[in-house]
Amino acid sequence: MMIRSKLTLLNILLVTAAITITTIFSLLQIRRDAENQARNVQESHIKTFWELLRAKGDAFSIREGKLLAGDYVINGNYELPDKIKEIFGGTATIFMGDRRVSTNVLTPEGGRAVGTLLEGPPRDAMFRDGKPYRGEADIFGVPYFTAYDPIRNGRGEVIGALYVGVKKSDFFAAYDRLRSGCILIAIVVGGFFGLISVFLVQKLLSPLKAMVEKLREASHNGREVSDLTIRLDDGTRDEIGLVAGEFNSLLEKMQEIISLVTTVTNSFAGTIATAVHHQASFTSQLSSSVSEISSTMEEFTSTASQIAEHSQGVAEIAETTLLDMKEGAAKFEILAAKMAEINSDNQAGIREIVDLGRKSKEITKIMGIINTVANQTKLIAFNAALEAASAGEAGKRFGVVATEIRRLADNVFESTSEIEGKINEILEAVNRLVINSEKSSKGIGEGLEYTTRTNVVLDELVAGAESTADAARQISLSTQQQQTASSQVVIALRDIEEGVRFNSGSIQQTSEISVNLTEMAVKLGKLVGEFSIGKGVNLAMDDPACAAGGETAAQ
């Protein structure tokens, strides 16, 4: 599988997993908060119910088969349950014993459930244990969030019960709508970020794909000659563009070096072969005719001078090549240092992103405090509304203020919920940035490793250039010695026999050197012949003069 496919699949999986986990966690947290809020609301409702009941009378008793609060008869009187429904909604009931005597709970047939009995855990808690009951209960087969308190007479005996409750289905209707919306949004967001991941990965890797194709074309591409005229596209303003630019500079340097080496090798091998051929001819003429020694030696001296000049040129070119190779190696070391700086900056960016995520979590804690204050404000508003209701006509204005305070608390709660959602989105974005930054850091590390390997190769090229320069200096020294020997032969013309022997020895030595140099030139020509530096440039050692000179020197 290609890297592009791997990165795309990994991004889609990570985004999907993150959105799924976040959605599930958020829905569970919202449901848990809703259940806690339902219990708190029932607690406040039953407190209000007690205040309304005690306003009718503080002493509770059963007389003549009826439950009374002071002189207020409760049996068949639906004023207080209906008042609770009017203020808060939901259901409310007053029990005499375990039988409903005043209620707004409806039977399945639609009538008030007066006369029906209390059953289940609430009855056991109050009439067996004498304790209040808070929690879920089934009323006529329907689950409710409930609150039950026992009603006691003056002797502390449980003679009835007070109940408030709300259907779970009514309370969680908004939650069910929110859950459906969250799932839909998660699917849409996941698909959107999946498409973005595919687009970004393709855009990120397209320059690398183009570089790989160019490098394949430059290396072989079905041929035996490497083309050094090909250049990579360095137009992008990123690390890939910088690498391509430095690689193009390296190709230009190699093209110049190989061109110089080819020119010098062809010229040098041909000159040496020609000189050896002339020396062999001179030896034959010297043995047959002593009278032509002077003219032949002058020609030999001229030839030796040319060899010295050419060998000196070879040495200078080798020195220049060595300096160019060292300069290229130094620039590549600068590139490696820059890659290391980029890696360090990327790590610093990751640390900043993580710090941003931590600060966002601190904001979430503050939102929780604001929510707590908003809930307390709502409770205060409820109590204020009750006080206003108790005050009658004089408390209407105060009741309006209490209602507005409650509405303001609801708005604050909704606003903090929206802020928490935005902060969660910021945390998700921070996590994605950390993942992408770690991937970029991995790519930068690989680029740094490749740069280090290339630097090692350059060091090996510099060492080879140093060896070439040493060989060129030795060749120059040998040719200078040859020129000195030729001068000595001219001076020694007065002693023909001694001069002939000296000249024969010099020719033998020169022949051996020329054979070695010709073999080296042929090998070097084959090596540089594997590269192409432009149209019309011949890098192979196929010069007829070189081949002929090599054969003559060998003979």
Tell me the pLDDT tens digit for each residue of 286-318.
656 656 656 666 776 777 677 667 767 767 877
Structure-block tokens of residue 371: 């929510």
Is residue 239 located within the same domain as residue 96? no
Is residue 263 located within the same domain as residue 361? yes
Residue 1 inside a domain? The answer is no
Nearest to 552 by CA among 339, 172, 297, 284: 284
Rounded to the nearest 10°, the torsion over CA 46, 49, 55, 60 is -80
Is residue 338 located within the same domain as residue 437? yes
- Give the per-residue pLDDT at 328: 76
Task: Report the alpha-carbon distance of residue 326 to residue 381 in Å, rounded.
Answer: 83
Nearest to 93 by CA among 38, 130, 131, 140: 140
- Give the per-residue pLDDT at 102: 94
Is residue 444 located within the same domain as residue 319? yes
Alpha-carbon 221 to chain mean position: 34
Residue 107 inside a domain? The answer is yes
Is residue 225 located within the same domain as residue 132? no
* 8 Å CB contact between 361 and 427: yes
Give the domain-ending residue among 167, 183, 206.
167
For tokens 């020169």, name the residue: 510
Give the domain-ending residue among 137, 167, 197.
167
Distances (CA, A) of 197 to 201, 203, 210, 240: 6, 10, 20, 20
Structure-block tokens of residue 277: 């051929």
Residue 200 inside a domain? The answer is no
Structure-block tokens of residue 71: 């002189």
CATH number of the domain bearing residue 243: 1.10.287.950
Across 91-132, where does the E strand assignment appear? 91-96, 99-103
The DSSP line for 441-499 is HHHHHHHHHHHHHHHHHHHHHHHHHHHHHHHHHHHHHHHHHHHHHHHHHHHGGGSHHHH
Structural domain count, the chain? 2
Task: Report the alpha-carbon distance of residue 331 to residue 242 in Å, rounded.
Answer: 12
Is residue 262 located within the same domain as residue 343? yes
- Give the per-residue pLDDT at 436: 79
Is residue 242 located within the same domain as residue 352? yes
Alpha-carbon 134 to chain mean position: 51
CA contacts within 13 A on the Cβ side of 2: 9
Longest dimension (CA), the chain: 169
Residue 185 inside a domain? The answer is no
Residue 477 inside a domain? The answer is yes
Nearest to 160 by CA among 74, 40, 86, 272: 74
Tell me the pLDDT tens digit for each residue of 457-478.
778 877 877 887 787 678 677 7
Give the domain-ending residue among 151, 167, 183.
167
* 8 Å CB contact between 451 and 339: yes
- Give the per-residue pLDDT at 450: 75
The DSSP line for 502-518 is HHHHHHHHHHHHHHHHH
Is residue 404 located within the same domain as residue 272? yes
- Give the per-residue pLDDT at 265: 65
Task: Please report, in tens digits, the pLDDT of each residue of the chain (555 residues total).
Answer: 666 677 677 777 887 888 788 878 776 777 676 677 777 788 989 999 999 999 998 899 999 999 999 999 999 999 999 999 999 888 999 999 999 999 999 998 889 999 999 989 999 999 999 999 998 898 888 899 999 999 999 899 999 999 999 988 877 766 677 777 778 787 887 787 778 877 777 777 677 777 777 677 666 654 555 666 777 776 666 677 777 777 778 777 777 777 776 776 666 656 666 665 666 666 667 656 656 656 666 776 777 677 667 767 767 877 887 787 788 778 778 877 887 887 788 788 778 877 877 887 777 778 788 878 878 887 888 788 888 888 878 777 778 888 888 788 888 778 888 887 888 888 788 788 778 777 777 877 877 787 788 778 778 877 877 887 787 678 677 777 766 766 776 676 666 666 666 666 676 777 777 777 777 777 776 666 666 666 555 555 555 545 555 555 455
* 8 Å CB contact between 472 and 317: yes
Residue 182 inside a domain? The answer is no
Residue 202 inside a domain? The answer is no
Task: Report the alpha-carbon distance of residue 27 to residue 20 in Å, rounded.
Answer: 11
Is residue 103 located within the same domain as residue 251? no
For 74, phi then psi, to 5°, come to -95, -35
Q: 80: how many CB neighbours lie within 10 A of its CB?
A: 22
* 8 Å CB contact between 518 and 555: no
- Give the per-residue pLDDT at 428: 83
Task: Report the alpha-carbon distance of residue 73 to residue 50 in Å, rounded.
Answer: 15
Is residue 105 located within the same domain as residue 229? no
* 8 Å CB contact between 109 and 129: no
Is residue 390 located within the same domain as residue 478? yes
* 8 Å CB contact between 201 and 439: no
Residue 388 inside a domain? The answer is yes
Quick one: 495 exposed, middle or buried, by C-beta within 10 A (0-12, 13-18, 19+)?
Answer: exposed
CATH number of the domain bearing residue 32: 3.30.450.40
Task: Report the alpha-carbon distance of residue 66 to residue 336 in Å, rounded.
Answer: 96
Give the domain extent around 548: 220-554
Is residue 278 located within the same domain as residue 147? no
- Give the per-residue pLDDT at 91: 94
Quick one: DSSP state of residue 223? S
